[in-house]
Amino acid sequence: MTGNASQQEHLPFDTLSDRWQSLRALRPVHYDEQQSAWQVVDHESVAAVLADPATFSSDFSSVAPTQEDFEVFRQGNFVGMDPPEHRKLRTLVSQAFTPRVVSGLQPRIENVCGRLLDDVADRDRFDLVDTLAYPLPIIVIAELLGIPAADHRLFQEWAATLFGGDELGEAPNMDDLARALKAIAPTVREMNGYVLDHIRRCRETPGNDLTSKLLAAEVDGVRLEDQEIVGFVALLLVAGHVTTTALLGNAVVTFDRHPGTLPALRADPGRLPDAIEEVLRWLPPFAELGRRATRPVVIGEHELPAGAMVVAHLGAANRDPSRFAAPDVFEPTRSPNPHLTFGHGIHFCFGAPLARLEARIALRMLLERFSDLRVPAYGEVTFQNPGVIVGVRQLPVEVARS
Ligand code: HEM
């Protein structure tokens, strides 16, 4: 890939980088009046907050706006649970989603990537999100769950509605959230009904898919309720789809804006895993995680009251100079790279091995298929609402084949 002038344009990603830098310049822990929340920005404090679920709860059910259709999703949605409920669900799901299941997906992911890229075999310009980054993770998750191929498009449509984030501002408050939940309620209801039917089908005729395995998994003699499985499917969609889409788009944009990266990776594809970790550090798809203090607690020099809202800034922690040399430089060979993009502690991302596998396969295949891959016009690139997810929405690319 060669450089072009538009690489220098100021993009929303640069605004985020500036924000993470300026957050760092403030004290590591401070109160934000506008968000009515404590902001935690340094690596050590962010990791400490995420490592202590007894003090910093992930359960917002008592304070978040409620929406009837959403209640069904809460049950298996263990990212919003604290111990001991969290452990039960996570352990059950881990039985079905083992490292062997994930590594066994490699040939299938290669096959899906190949097929998606075949669709643009005669084009020298296409949208990378529509072609690859959006459909790949959803096809992988839907297949994993045993959803028939004919219905994958439904999942793509639902995901687009659920994660559009158009109703939300960049710093959404509870009213914005309540409005957004109401807007997506019909989609949630439709998806809930579909997944319940799918569960019933798997109960009648179990297959080798994750849904059938979840139905059979047990911890201490207890199985998952159907509703818990629906909640887990929703969680997979939320956590596993848009994040991976974002990672792929962020990688292509970041490589494009750092000329020399793609030629170096093409010359030595063994460097790809480190480069992907650096993209994860540089642009974490979830830049902020919310927690709620369960008791009065001291962080740094501040005493937070019980009930205080806490925002753990992964984006800022990933640029902490006490953990990363030259944190504001994108360094694709950086190693070790203790970024916090997949979280930390008991909620550490469950799908990190799958996200990494998909990114390695998809990016390797792009390197193999195209001798050049560039973003010709940043004016045509559109971005997600960074208050929801750090990623691109549309990413037109230009390719050459040797
Ligand atoms: C949790 C990020 C991909 C499933 C998390 C958390 C983060 C995260 C930050 C912790 C949330 C918290 O502590 O509140 C990401 C990123 C991804 C990605 C950046 C891609 C680049 C995936 C994939 C899957 C997945 C592919 C599933 C197939 C989950 C689940 C949890 C989770 C189930 C909840 C774990 C728990 O609460 O114990 N993810 N994720 N994620 N992620 Fe991911």
- Which CATH number applies to 5-400? 1.10.630.10
Buried b (16+ CB within 10 A) or exposed e, 172-194: beeeebeebbeebeebbeebbeb
Give per-residue pLDDT as tens, 63-79: 765 666 666 667 778 89
The C-alpha atoms of residue 249 and residue 160 are separated, in whole angstroms, by 16
Q: How many CB atoms lie within 10 A of CB 376?
A: 14
Give per-residue pLDDT as tens, 47-61: 999 999 999 999 988
- ipTM of the prediction greater than 0.90, yes or no: yes
Return the residue whose CA atom lies nearest to atom 38 of ligand 1. 347
Pocket of ligand 1 (CB under 6 A): 50, 58, 78-79, 90, 141, 235-236, 239-240, 243-244, 247, 285-286, 289, 341-343, 347, 349-351, 354-355
Answer whether 53's CB lies under 8 Å from 78's CB.
Answer: no
**Sorting pLDDT into bands at 50, 70 and 90, what band is 3?**
very low
User: What are the beta bridge partners of residue 223?
Assistant: 218
**Sorting pLDDT into bands at 50, 70 and 90, what band is 310?**
very high
Per DSSP bridges, beta strands 382-383 and 392-394 are: antiparallel
Answer whether 222's CB lies under 8 Å from 91's CB.
Answer: no
Residues of the chain above pLDDT 70, percent: 92
Mention every residue, 6+ apart, whose C-beta is less than 8 A from residue 105: 140, 144, 354, 357
Instruction: Report how far apart, in Å, the C-alpha atoms of 396 and of each of 109, 157, 368, 399 are.
Output: 23, 21, 19, 10
Return the residue whose CA atom lies nearest to atom 7 of ligand 1. 342
